Amino acid sequence: MTDLLVENARLRAQLQAALELVGEAAHDLGTPLMSLQLRLHRLRTLLPPDTQAREGLASAEREATRMGRLVHDLLDLSRLSAGRLSLELEELDLAALAHEVAERFADQAAAGAAPLVLHTSGPVRGLWDRQRLDRVATNLLSNALKFGQGQPVEVHVLAEGSRVRLVVRDHGMGIPLESQGRLFRRFERLGDTGHPGSGLGLYIVRQLVEAHGGTVHVSSRPGDGATFTVELPSSPP
């Protein structure tokens, strides 16, 4: 029994060391990737619309953005595994933040002919970590556009007393009931979907939401899309 405990401790230490190395690499990759995204965007805006070169640059920009999301997910994974995730709270309008994130996905939505519709009824204010909730909204919208099969994607931001909701709904392939319970696990993917992914996006979403004292759940039926609902207190505990 003692040998087994020692071996488990050794394996955990090796895993933690590997995750820290991943985090350091992700941190180093973040700045050049951001620079690449900005350069591609600037080049694309200098070209005439509806040209093959501009479409090629738009595709390269989307791939660079996807790589950037993966780098951020790996960085968050490293911090979560090491217990070093800390929130930087500030007064924040969640409706305005959702609008900013939706704007970043406008080109991707247009390329996939998937209308992106944002529903808000005014400012929804609270005390949150801007960067972390940006990650939450980004990962949920990325998934919705990826699996939405070109159908509309809806984003709702609602205030209900001392709690708020961020709801992202697609009208795509949906998720089997037996698979929904494992969606938020680390490195979990729903089989061979034909879409690239690390299996980290929803895991990161759950961890960041729970760090704010909130919850996230999914409601879905095959062929009827999926709805992800994030509930947050106006001020984390």
pLDDT > 90: what percent of the chain?
31
User: Is 90 exceeded by the pLDDT of residue 69?
Assistant: no
| Total domains, the chain | 2
Distance (Å) of CA 35 to CA 8, 69, 143, 208:
41, 14, 24, 26
Other CB atoms within a 10 A radius of the CB of residue 14 amount to 10
Quickly list DSSP for 77-140: HHHHHHT-----EEEEEHHHHHHHHHHHTHHHHHHTT--EEEEESS--EEEEEHHHHHHHHHHH
Give residue 25's domain range.
2-82
207 with 113, same domain: the answer is yes
169 with 198, same domain: the answer is yes
pLDDT band at 98 (very low <50, low <70, confident <90, very high): very high
| Residue 89: strand pairing partners | 129
Model confidence, pTM: 0.74
How confident is the model at residue 212, as a pLDDT? 93
User: Where among 82, 115, 141 does a domain terminate?
Assistant: 82
149 with 94, same domain: the answer is yes
User: Where among 56, 82, 108 does a domain terminate?
Assistant: 82
pLDDT > 70: what percent of the chain?
75
